[in-house]
Structure 1
């Protein structure tokens, strides 16, 4: 086993909305963990509430971090969050920077999601349409919890309304006022890389005609879903991954915000079915090497 990805501190992978560690035999971070481990990294895919507010998920993550630190003897951790997981790790780093070496946002809605805004406008809470959307999300969350095999902790609470509000541009704006660490001072810019001793990084993708709708994505239904969702975007129309806008995702040192990746491709989630030229696992490996080189 090599040591090229042997970071000083463990890597904790934090999922987004409707996230999981493993459903039956299928992992959330498909094909990501093993290559990192073969390179010497200590990697922990973690579980927080699949559907809840960012703050509740963050408090759950703090308990996980403390347990990982006890188990490994590490004094800090590197946090990598996908989608809402990016907001979750930001919350933890803002509350307890002494426990966090780095925060990495992967396709994180750091200024909110226009898809969440569309759903709020089109299917308001309390309306028949809103109840249907909530029922679908609730059913998906229930099925994931029933078939989750990678998590063995206590049952985690669900709050669909709080989760949705945490992802709208209005909800994230409130969150950002409380926890601004790493945010760009101007729209589309880079944020501070080092804040309170924590290094901040981000990367994300955009739907790229001729690339994200080619390759193995030709047989990936989730890519079609992302392309449909992309039609709800206004401010970042043509500059999103189907769920998160390119500039909305930016945080700290931006590794890239235009990789040919849809929202699921960012974590190689759909059994490795990605678009033409996409290499999402390589992004994680390169980042682990980057963290190691930074002494993290």
Structure 2
């Protein structure tokens, strides 16, 4: 028994040493984290992707965090991200980037990869609104354009958006809550996919092309596509103020899982998040996917470790 315990300890130590190697997350190209709806890069040092960039940098990754409009159309956010990608490339001396987008950051990153594939090595969508969100659909079913509740809702979201951008130093960025909300609906998402179809599954809940080859100036460029998401709504008692409202919204938008409701992370249906190679579905909700709030997630689940493993995945792929 003692010998077996010693072997187990040696194996676990070897694994930990490997996983914590100084170059474990050292991708060939820089990683760019892209925030979602009502997101920000950081507010006074508090990150939208909570402690994720730091964990990636510890073991070799070069990481940038984009600062784009917290609410706007996918195309406008995409153009903002494209300009930042060019700046990040100039700073790093790299020729491409690995884009990792959460929520609305997923299609925002896809836009850049579609219009400038020569600058993008990979796109990873985390809880991405790739085929629309039933929460956005629900908003417009309850509050159609022109109604008082629609105007009030858009106004409140607009103020929250401006406050988040002011506190994060992005007050000059334009906000468009109506454009953002509509971009996240199923109807607008599917229209967006017709223009920018790369990596999007052609089946209801399947996988998309894991690699898309595009030709720019007679040179072929490969872009790799990945995705993952969550399907657990209440994950930590410390996050009850977030998890319980997410659960309520989920029941309204997606229905009860006991009665055949759609599997979701509280904001986006699992099938809607699929893009390219689907890595997995984990015990987390839409907020947990960015290690919020303050890293309080499901027991025995380390969200930063998922990002680290993915960085290593990109590294081994030569990206």
TM range (shorter): over 0.9
Q: Distance in 2 between matches of 1:206 and 1:277?
A: 16
1:23, distance to aligned residue in structure 2 (A): 1.4
Q: Deviations over 1:83-132 (max 9, x none)?
A: 00000000000111000000000000110000000001101222111112
1:279, distance to aligned residue in structure 2 (A): 2.1
1:225, distance to aligned residue in structure 2 (A): 1.9
Q: How does 1:55-134 map to 2 (within 5 A)?
A: 55-134=75-154
Report the counterpart of residue 272 of structure 2 in structure 1.
248
Query: Contact between 2:122 and 2:223, CA under 8 Å: does it hold in 1?
Result: yes
Report the counterpart of residue 186 of structure 1 in structure 2.
203
Query: Contact between 1:217 and 1:275, CA under 8 Å: does it hold in 2?
Result: no
Q: How does 1:1-296 map to 2 (within 5 A)?
A: 2-149=22-169, 155-196=172-213, 197-207=222-232, 212-214=233-235, 216-234=236-254, 237-256=261-280, 258-296=281-319
1:250, distance to aligned residue in structure 2 (A): 0.3
1:188, distance to aligned residue in structure 2 (A): 1.1
Given the two structures, how large is their TM-score scaled by the length of structure 1?
0.93
Q: Distance in 1 between matches of 2:136 and 2:43?
A: 25
Q: Distance in 1 between matches of 2:237 and 2:131?
A: 27
Q: Distance in 2 between matches of 1:273 and 1:169?
A: 30
Query: Contact between 2:133 and 2:267, CA under 8 Å: does it hold in 1?
Result: yes
1:238, distance to aligned residue in structure 2 (A): 4.5
Q: Deviations over 1:52-111 (max 9, x none)?
A: 000000000110011111111100000000000000000000111000000000000110
1:218, distance to aligned residue in structure 2 (A): 4.3
Q: Distance in 1 between matches of 2:138 and 2:132?
A: 12
Q: Distance in 2 between matches of 1:219 and 1:14?
A: 23
Given the two structures, how large is their TM-score scaled by the length of structure 2?
0.87
Q: Distance in 2 between matches of 1:217 and 1:192?
A: 38
Question: Alignment length, in residue pairs?
Answer: 287
Query: Contact between 1:230 and 1:237, CA under 8 Å: does it hold in 2?
Result: no
3-state SS in 2 of match to 1:233: helix
1:217, distance to aligned residue in structure 2 (A): 3.8
Report which of the two structures shows the higher radius of gyration computed on alpha carbons: 2
Q: Distance in 2 between matches of 1:219 and 1:111?
A: 28
3-state SS in 1 of match to 2:199: coil
Q: Which runs of 5+ in 1 are unaligned?
A: none
Query: Contact between 1:15 and 1:81, CA under 8 Å: does it hold in 2?
Result: yes
Q: Which runs of 5+ in 2 are unaligned?
A: 1-20, 214-221
Larger relative helix fraction: 2
